[in-house]
Amino acid sequence: MSSIINIPAGGRTTSANPVVLGGVGLHSGKDATVRVMPGKSGLRVADGGTFIALRDVAVARTPRCTRLELPSGRRIDMVEHLFAALRIAGITDADMEFDGDEVPVLDGSSAVWLEAFAKAGARGLDGSIECLLVVKPTSFETGPSRFTAMPGQFSLDCTIDFPNAHIGRQSVRVDERSLVSLATARTFVLEHEIALLKANNLALGGSLDNAVVIGEAGPLNPGGFRVDLECARHKALDFVGDLMVVGVPVIGRFEVFAPGHSANNAFVHQLLSSGALRRVSILEGNPVFLAA
């Protein structure tokens, strides 16, 4: 028996026009600007006047965000919401420049990026699309976090469990067609954690404009949660962004429990080193056949 894997629709795609967004960094509290420009050499990041393939950039497993460590020694924090937006928008080729050491948090989700990509328009590129396919089941655990990857069409089952009555245990499931349902879910924090975060020079730019703050009585934000299961949706969004540090879509069936940035990136390292992934390069519309 064999299975047929369909690569995400759309083929190779870049933005038709540059996208430039600026704002405050969630953790640094400093202003930053990111330029996402049309490209034709995959996903690349600028470093010292040259562009480097994203898959060749080191990633630090930080607990409250995902950090790129560039060859020059420069570090860029909080890349996950931008990378998730690239995956959801189907952008396979882009050159990214960062002014500052952190991607601006914007509204705490990927929605503003997606709106900007839609306004910029899309342009198809000739050639094949590259993906990494999960070709054998793999499991990974670290602390309370558990991950499973299996061959198949892309899907993500994400479960979280927080000792807060307004979060509790939540589960969401998305596939290729419903990935966009994660986009508006905002980053969140428990109110009692804020003092410790700021004492460690984190969340210095945080506010009710860019994060959901959840206290004993519920969200402090006017209007409360934006969408149902917003916390689980945001953790799933973060996972999607953290998978994209490899520079191309990773296709498989994923089940994750209690994900976090450090755990997510340890799982990605496990995937890359375990032989569970196969790199494929195919033309749009041509399915990939995998032996059972």
Active centre residues (catalytic): 261
Distance CA 116, CA 89 (A): 10
Q: How many CB atoms lie within 10 A of CB 109?
A: 27
State the number of CA atoms in the 13 A half-sphere of 178 facing the CB: 10
Distance CA 287, CA 140 (A): 28
Is the four-CA dihedral 177, 148, 42, 284 of positive or negative sign? negative
DSSP 1-37: -EEEEPPPTT-SEEESS-EEEEEE-TTT--EEEEEEE
DSSP 83: H
Distance CA 165, CA 186 (A): 18
Distance CA 129, CA 134 (A): 16
Q: How many CB atoms lie within 10 A of CB 242?
A: 26
Q: Distance between terminal CA atoms of the chain?
A: 5
